[in-house]
Structure 1
């Protein structure tokens, strides 16, 4: 373990595993060209001495931990929007309640408020103190009722229920939600900054291309065209010239391959072409080993078997090829390496390098046993010239299946996917092209593709200007990813970051949504995240976006449903209170509607599953209003209908419902009970309309949502029980069957009304935007007044 940050002074074949800091699994060789060592990294090979440059908080690891300890305390986009809606509703409710309180007080104390029988409630000369006090209390109760009407008490509980239900469902899609509010925030995401290794790719080096006997194998593990003698030579070289091992379980399960990522890739490929690792190693013995080192970029082994002594070499393709004077042909004969054949192999290496494949060549030569030193064999220098080329393989960490489709789905949804990786820029570009993050016909140069160092050295203003354009960032440090996230957030983006390494923790912490990988992710990364992707697959990230949008859409559905209730009830009660001094909907009735019925409604709407249409919309980001113009249209259509119908019944209900033969007190109670019952049924039927705010067919898929149907039935049963058996508590009376039918019929009308209402066009500009100029001008007038 490297104990501190420092610079390499001297050493030999020093290889460092920097995966804990950079997230890249391959070891990094350290020399005078790359001398920097980081605290917390593991020494994989070699030895060395270093000059310590930083310890504790002054190391890269220390700065990373310091960033994680800071709590940014930011509110999510949904919290900001809900706070705005709640503040607005609260201001309206209190203002209206204050006006109503004043009007009712004036009416009462001036003798304009009358009882149902027509007598005046307050006369200054005859009314007693107690009676006057009780009248004032009743006026205050009506004002409180107005506040109860205006404030959607069920909204916090409804939002929590929606988030909790979605969190449970997301678990099935391999997403563990650690922070409840992140369910919705992911739906607002405008960009995803994804790690490459292990997220977009499999984090498993694999042989994907092979050139042998002068031709390319297709598929790369099809060696039927190779002679048995040539295949045996190749397999001998793979099995003996390696630092890895292959363990075959006794129960016949999959082989367990160990070693460096490159060694594991080659050994796994060897198994595919028919290698029996233990059998090959038992048939020959190793005489001498020349270990791989970063200077010569090759490793060799001398092997003795029944067929003689073979010197096998393996290493960087272009260097091994330069030492080859011959090559193995189709029939297993050795052919001289002429200029034309050498150029063919060079072009193959160049083509593989352009695809960002790591090229490894295999070569061998025979050695007379007499030339092997009997003593001091440890000092024997293996022959490395006049080699015969066996073949070349191209190795890479391939993209995960389905990633390209997932990236395209994000593009269609208006979410830009950016790759931020510690790997070199060429490898990053190749993987980005394969995944579809970069377009082959587009611009593949700065600032769209940039190195972390170049981005880091820019000023904050310059970083802000190009942050939107960056699609791929290679050779990035943990701080570079953090700077990119900060720059994107300042531009107004809602940023999601995926990562698995400790190095990703600061960016995961800073992002609006941090997505850690559950299988390959470190504990530090998981603790810094909001959501853990359990299968490490980018396609699961897209499912999280889909669920996030579903949460946001379901919350919008509930808010449309809830505000329709509040607007209708508020206007009805205000008009009734001002005109007659009494309200048809009392506080207990409205608490039933707002707290219990609407909470059940929220749960019903929360169970609406995500649809494919959600991924065809543009992301809402930070600035889009929570209540859209379409929601306002639907809300006003239903609210105006309910207000008109119920006010007609409030003022002329006794005549319309033929209650003239009833006593004045009983007729008033029956009329108010009917208004309450009709109001509730309007909401029950409007619940169906809230399912599909933009679609005309609100019944599509409703029978498949059993919980929705169950909640509608339960709400209806509760309403019947309240009216028929809880009249004393709610201060209502029982209704006959004809009034029940009229209540239901009025509620049913909301369905065709909602259908017709969706033909009304809405402006693109949000409704709230029309009030901003007035707000700004009033603020400007106030400021000028203060200055004057």
Structure 2
């Protein structure tokens, strides 16, 4: 807000301009210059004023000079111990301190993970129920109410009053009215536009930050927003997931957590149920998967406490604003240089007697020109130079761009399909190449199994009766145990619900529908001993199980068909016979995989091996064998192209923006999808260097990469 001293000074300047003996054009130019200066002053002041909305305490962090809005992921917190609330056996402070210090002794005193879950009245298998959910949510309240910024235009009113007093109503309102219009356009319009733009970008940020995560509630695995996680939730974490709260490791396999955001180090930390069961928000799952019991959220988490000590910069400019500021600054400097040059030339011409007045006489004569005439002439020359500076200041450019962006944003906000693209629209305006993922970006990420092969035999849908019992049993184990997905059936016997990644859901729904898989019965038949989770380098996952009936141990592998096939020396036929894979049959199996991939299918293979425990010095060694496997089957999953993707790619290509697709799929699948989306031309022979596999690209030198990157 403008201070009384600033308003007084500006008012005095306006009074001096409107009452000095200058010509009307000179007054108008000087008033215009002052208006721009006054406008810039108000803009800079307005930018430093915080327009606060109704925000939870967890989102507003006070700093000495301003309020910085920080987004804390969850907006609920662990309730304090209260007998009426059902948390009488656990204290919030002890719980938070135990996790923060990684105090195993204190955790054991609380009864370990099971004891904490019991105190929180959480079932580790079925999660919390709806009644507990209402009780566990604790609102943090609101801290600030809406405020209104009032911009004072008193200086313009002073100018208007002085002008009417000196020149009358008919002509005296020109200067003051001009200032009113200029201030309104430059200040009010830009302020309102910037405010609305910030509000809209804040809404977009909330949408982009609204990540979905899997939790177990009422025995059902479901996706919820990270904003809705509460204390006592059992969350499911997989590779790449960001840990949304502080909690404890319940169970899982091969869990590595990247705590670089907390410690500043990039080393992955092993998390297990015995030596280190603690998980912190802000960290990321680098490998493995697990179930986590949520203990603290919001400002009570390690991430929340760390973020509360950080002061954000509320005046950060967008790339477009930075460029506009550089442009206006450059134009202003050029205008200043031209004005200075004109001032020097006009002064030289005046004092050398090369200028004439309205009557044709020389304006300056050393003998006859008095000091008052010299002063008036120099003032006139200086006013002309100042006029050039004023005209050169491009105040309308940022305003025009601001208004245009605000209008465009309003139009785009009406189209919800484009809402996620707004925050990157300025940056993408300078892009010449777009590198895009395939799955979920160019495709819909809605997987369905469309083809199934056992050995060299194609199996039609709903033909499980033609598959031998022992083969079907092994397929059930390979699909049902070697998965991070789940199947939920309600007591009413409705359609099963599938959870997990799109690939896992497609595999499970296919196995339930076509192979008569019953997950509940399957879990009772065997015990999981060891798991190797899927990673992008090996492109496969493995599991070791022991059957309850006969103690037989089987290793099951699932992954990219060409990689699993390379691990196999035998294959099953649908009738249960096992055959050795010779060179001809390996070629036929590879052709089957290539044929499905060329039809834009993702190929997944299943293989298994019967193994024995290895004992040395009373120590049992169990390994997931990767050699001499028996191939169980190959499935092809269809992931259709996203509607509109091909047209968007054509538009980009016609505008000179190149598209490069990056995927971890089989090279034939990648080619098929690229052709279907319009990145590669259908029916045309591949040009050298258009399709490059990761191994080949990594072997390039830096010079080779720069030479070949444009053609990929």
- State the TM-score, normalizing by the size of structure 2: 0.40
Q: Which one has a larger percent helix, Structure 1 or Structure 2?
A: 1
- State the TM-score, normalizing by the size of structure 1: 0.36
